[in-house]
A = this chain, B = another copy of it.
Amino acid sequence: MENKTITSVNNPLIKKLYKLRDNKKQQLSDGIILVEGKNNIDEARKLNLVEFLLTTNEIDNNKDIRVTENVIKKLSSLKNPDTTIAVVKLPVYESKKYKRVIFLEGIQDPGNLGTIIRSAVAFNFDAIYLSKNSSYLYNQKVISSSQGAIFMIPIFQMDLLKAIDLYDYNVISTHLSEESEFIDKTNFPESFAIAFGNEGTGISSELLSRSKSNVSIKISNIDSLNVAIAASIAMFEISKK
C-alpha cells in the first residue's frame, strides 16, 4: 500500500503543526509537541508516546506520514533539520510524594535544564519539580540537551512551595551559608528534595526559609559553578550513598 506524500507547507495538517510548534499554551492544552533528534524520538517511541512521524524516509506503516524536505524544513526548529519529526504526546505522571526529588527554581537556560534532566536520570532520581519562572520544559533546546531523558523521569512544572505543602518534602538547598555542610560530608535522609536555584541569584529567600538544611560544593578561585554542573555533582554524590 502506498501512502500519499505531503509536499505542501499549506497542507492543513502541516499548518496546524506549524502553529503548534511555537505555541506553548496549545502544546500543554493539547498534550502534544513536536520532537526532533534521534535519541529523543527513540526514547519517546519506547515509552509509546509517539503519535506518528513526519519523515522524508520510506515508511512501512499506516500511521506515519511521508513528507518532502520543504515540509520538514518548515516544521523544524533546527538549522540543519534531520529527516524526521515526531508528533509526541506528553507523558502524564502520577502526582504523589516521590523519594529522591530535584527542585529547580528559576533555571533560565534551556541547555542547563536539559542537562540537569539527563543527569537526574543517569543518577536514578525519581522526579523533578520545576518552578514556573524557569525555562519552558518542552523548549526544543531542553529536549535536545536532555538527549531523550526528558521522557524518562516525572517532571512537574509547578509552584515549589505548593509541592512542599502537598507532600511535605524535606528540602535541602544548595546554598552557601554559615551552616551549610559540604555535600560529600552530608548524610541524606531516605526521602528528600534537593534544590538548585537561578543561574545568577541562586535560591529565593522564600524557598530557603522552607528548607531544612543547606549544602554546598567546595570550590576555589571563583565564586560559583555552572548550575547544571553543581546539580550533577550533587546528584552524583548522592547516588553513591
Task: Check if B226 sits within 8 Å of A119, measured CB to CB.
Answer: yes
A197 within 8 A of partner (CB): no
User: Which of B147, B149, B229 touches A232 (beta carbons < 8 Å)?
Assistant: B229
Residue in B111, B115, B148, B229 whose beta carbon sits within 8 Å of that of A222 in the complex: B148
In the complex, the answer to whether A240 meets B184 with C-beta atoms within 8 Å is yes
In the assembled complex, the Cα of A145 lies from the Cα of B224 at a distance in Å of: 12
Contact of A149 among B122, B123, B217, B222 (CB under 8 A): B222
A124 cross-chain contacts in B, Cβ below 8 A = 220-221
Q: Which residue of chain B lies nearest to A217 when distances are taken between CB atoms in the complex? A: B236
- Which residues, 108 to 129 on A, are CB-close (under 8 Å) to B? 111, 115, 118-119, 121-124
In the complex, chain A residues 122-168 whose Cβ is within 8 Å of any chain B Cβ: 122-124, 145, 147-149, 152
- Given contacts A124-B221, A219-B123, A220-B123, whether A115 and B236 have CB atoms under 8 Å apart is no
Q: How large is the interface on A (under 10, 10 to 19, 20 to 34, 35 or more residues)?
A: 20 to 34
How many whole Å from A102's CB to the nearest CB in chain B? 14
Most buried by B among A218, A229, A239: A229
Q: Does A47 sit at the interface, judged by CB under 8 A? A: no
* Bound Cα distance from A221 to B148, whole angstroms: 11
Is there a chain B Cβ closer than 8 Å to A228's Cβ? yes
Q: Is the CB of A222 within 8 A of B122?
A: yes
Q: Which residues does chain B contribute within 8 Å of A236, judged by CB atoms?
A: 217, 233, 236
1/0 contact string of A198-229 vs chain B (CB within 8 Å): 00000000000000000001111110011011
A residues near B (Cβ < 8 Å) are 111, 115, 118-119, 121-124, 145, 147-149, 152, 184, 217-222, 225-226, 228-229, 232-233, 236, 239-240
